[in-house]
Structure 1
Amino acid sequence: MLSNKGKYGLKALVHLAGLPAGQTALAATIAEQNNISKKFLDAILNDLRNAGLVRSKKGPGGGYALAKPAGDIMVGQAIRVLDGPLAPIACASRTAYLPCDDCADVAACSVRLMMLRARDAMAEVLDRSSIADMRAQAQRVAAGEADAGFYDI
C-alpha cells in the first residue's frame, strides 16, 4: 500500500513537473497547494533530493525543481525512494528480498508466489509510467478529454 509519504512525494513531483522551465517552487507553496504538512514535505523533498530526483536552490529565486525531465522520472522509482520496495511482503521483493521465518519451502510457498505476481503487476505499471504521464493524465481528465481510468496513461 502506498504510504502518505509516497503519495505526497508523487504530488510534489507532479507539482514540480508543471513548472515552467527554469522556475522553482517553494516547499511552502507546494505544501499549501497540495494540502501537505510543510514539515512532512520538507523531509520528503530532502529524500527526493538525496535520490537525485529534485534539486534545491537557496537564496533569491530559490526553491525546488525537478533534477531531470518529468518524462525520465518513473513513478516506481519515486515510490521506491520514499516507501521502499514495491512488494507487499519481503519474500516477494526483487530488491530487498528477505525469507520468511515461518516458511518451510520458499520456492513453493503459495503466498509468496501470489505476492510475486502482485509485485510484478504493480512494477509493470509503475516502472513504465512517468511523472509526466501522471501530470498529462490529470490534465486530460480535468479538461474532460478522458476518464480517470488507469489505462489512459
Structure 2
Amino acid sequence: MITQKMKYALKALLALADEAAKPVPQALTIEEIARRSGTPKRFLEHILLEVRNAGTIASTRGRSGGYSLIKAPRDISISELLRLIDGPIAPLPCLSRRSYQRCEDCTDEASCRIRKIFAEVFWSYLLIIESLTLEDMLKSAEVTSAVLRETEPGE
C-alpha cells in the first residue's frame, strides 16, 4: 500500500507535468501546486524538497519562481519515486534488491515458504511497477476522461 505522502507526491508531479505540457509552461509556486493537486501545502514543502534533491524537479527563486519538471514525464519512474518517498517496496526485507536484509527469524532463505510465496507475487508486481512512468499516469488520466465523456448519461 502506498502512503498518503506518496499520493501527494504523485499529485504534485502530475500538476507539474500538466503545466510542462503547455505551450509556454511556467514555474508553479507551492501554493499553486497545492491548489491544482488538492494537496495540503504544509506537506508539499518537504515532499518537493525530496523530489528536487533527487533531480526530478527544479526550484527557482524570485518573482516568477516556483517548481518545474526537469525530466520528461516518460523519464520519471513511478518505482523510483515510490522508493524515494516510501522507502523499499518489497513486502519482506529479504526480497529487497536495494535494501536487502536477512529476516531475523529465518534459518534458511532457500526453503522459506513465506519468502517463496511473497517472492512470486512481488516479482509480478515489480515487473509492472518498474515499467510505469509519470507519462503513463498522464495517458491513463486522458483515457479515463475520454471514456467517462463517452459514457455520460443522456447523450
> Shift of the alpha carbon at 1:33?
2.5
Aligned partner of 1:64: which letter? Y
- How big is each residue's C-alpha offset from its partner over 1:85-118, in whole Å with a ceiling of 9 and x where there is no partner? 1101211111101111111111221111222223
**Counterpart for residue 72 of structure 2:** 69
Q: Residues 31 and 38 of structure 1 are in contact (CA less than 8 Å); yes or no, is this contact kept in structure 2?
A: yes
Secondary structure of the structure 1 residue equivalent to 2:83:
helix
**Counterpart for residue 46 of structure 1:** 49
TM-score by length of 1: 0.88
**Counterpart for residue 18 of structure 1:** 18
Name the count of aligned residue pairs.
147
Task: Give, in whole Å, the separation in 2 of the partners of 1:90 and 1:67.
Answer: 32
Could you list the runs of 5+ residues in structure 2 that have no partner in the other structure?
Answer: 150-155
Residues 108-119 of structure 1 mapped to structure 2, 5 A cutoff: 108-119=111-122
**Counterpart for residue 61 of structure 2:** 58
Q: Residues 93 and 116 of structure 1 are in contact (CA less than 8 Å); yes or no, is this contact kept in structure 2?
A: no
> Shift of the alpha carbon at 1:41?
1.0
- How big is each residue's C-alpha offset from its partner over 1:47-105, in whole Å with a ceiling of 9 and x where there is no partner? 10011111111112111111210111111111111111110121111110111111111
Task: Give, in whole Å, the separation in 2 of the partners of 1:124 and 1:145.
Answer: 29
Task: Give, in whole Å, the separation in 2 of the partners of 1:49 and 1:58.
Answer: 14
Task: Give, in whole Å, the separation in 2 of the partners of 1:39 and 1:133.
Answer: 28
Q: Residues 28 and 65 of structure 2 are in contact (CA less than 8 Å); yes or no, is this contact kept in structure 1?
A: yes
Task: Give, in whole Å, the separation in 2 of the partners of 1:122 and 1:13.
Answer: 22
> Shift of the alpha carbon at 1:121?
1.9
Task: Give, in whole Å, the separation in 1 of the partners of 2:139 and 2:84.
Answer: 22
Secondary structure of the structure 2 residue equivalent to 1:2:
coil
Task: Give, in whole Å, the separation in 2 of the partners of 1:64 and 1:137.
Answer: 24
**Counterpart for residue 3 of structure 1:** 3
Select the residue among 15, 33, 37 that pairs with 1:34. 37
Aligned partner of 1:82: which letter? I
The two structures, once aligned, show a CA RMSD in angstroms of 1.9
Task: Give, in whole Å, the separation in 2 of the partners of 1:17 and 1:3.
Answer: 21
Select the residue among 126, 130, 137 that pairs with 2:133. 130
TM superposition outliers: structure 1 runs of 4+ over 3 Å:
none
Could you list the runs of 5+ residues in structure 1 that have no partner in the other structure?
Answer: 147-153
